Structure 1
Amino acid sequence: MKHLTFDQLPDAVVTLYEKLLSIEKMLTDLKISNNPSEKDLLNIQQASELITLAVPTLYSKVSLKEIPYIKKGKRLYFSRLELLEWINSGKKETNSEIVNGVETAFLKLHPKK
């Protein structure tokens, strides 16, 4: 970082202000994109395509309450985010992840002196 002279301070403040506005806009855009909206709701056909399951299989999982869904009247809706979380919840740990977890737990119980 370079040292600023007194004469350079006004330009530096303007630059800093512009960068701050840019960061504020990015955060606002990020907040808007993370809010659930109508676009995040899927019908059964869209959900079927997203998680690559046949529609009858999806109906079966709904009737067994194995998958998150929303029912309004006779219509079924699915949250894109909840479906992706549901898929990720089935993730199996690799052997190295299991070993790292065991090592971490062991070190917590038996810290080095």
Structure 2
Amino acid sequence: MKLDLTTLPNAVKLEVSKEDLLAFADRLLPAQQEVEMTPDSMDEKPLSFMEMCNFLGIAKSTGYQRIGRGEIPHFKKGRRLYFRKSELMAYIESGRRKTRIELEQAAKNYLAQAK
């Protein structure tokens, strides 16, 4: 049954079943979340801003710049920033450069497909 909440009076009590509430929550959440919530990531202690800077080996100003540009994944609660070590490792690994052998192999594959 569809219910238009805008037409209800201000003082109304509604009973909602657990199934209806779960279905509503499923519609609100995106189909695929960016960050998978695994048991390991739930147990992981969040790092503070200074811990993140020490972990990455960067200065505070560099950390703030990269956060401002949206490069470093983070959470913000109030005025505090929090980081997951696993996401920081993924951030580091995203900057991996290919070796010369890998580049040569990719070039050979490209030329073989272009023929």
Residue pair 1:67, 1:83 contacting (<8 A) in 2 also: yes
2:86 is aligned with 1:86: no
* CA RMSD, 1 decimal: 2.2
Cα distance, 1:50 vs. partner? Answer: 0.8
Q: Secondary structure at the match of 1:42?
A: coil
Unaligned runs of 5+ in 1: 1-32
Structure 2 unaligned residues grouped into runs of 5+ = 1-37
Mark the structure with the bigger radius of gyration. 1
Aligned pairs (5 A) from 1:1-113: 35-107=40-112
- Offset from partner CA, 1:84-104 (integer Å, 9 cap, x none): 111111111111111122334
Percent identity among equivalent residues?
27
- TM-score for both structures, normalised by structure 2: 0.56
Query: What is the count of residue pairs matched by the alignment?
Result: 78
Residues of 2 paired with 1:50 and 1:86: CA distance? 12
Q: Which structure 1 residue ranges, 4+ long, deviate > 4 Å from structure 2?
A: 105-110
SS for the counterpart of 1:35 is helix
Shift of 1:66: 1.9
**Counterpart of 1:14?**
none
Q: Of Structure 1 and Structure 2, which has the larger fraction of its residues in helix?
A: 1
Normalising by structure 1, we get a TM-score of 0.57
| Residue identity in the other structure for 1:92 | R
Change (3 A) 1:38 1:72: farther
Secondary structure of 2:44's aligned partner: helix
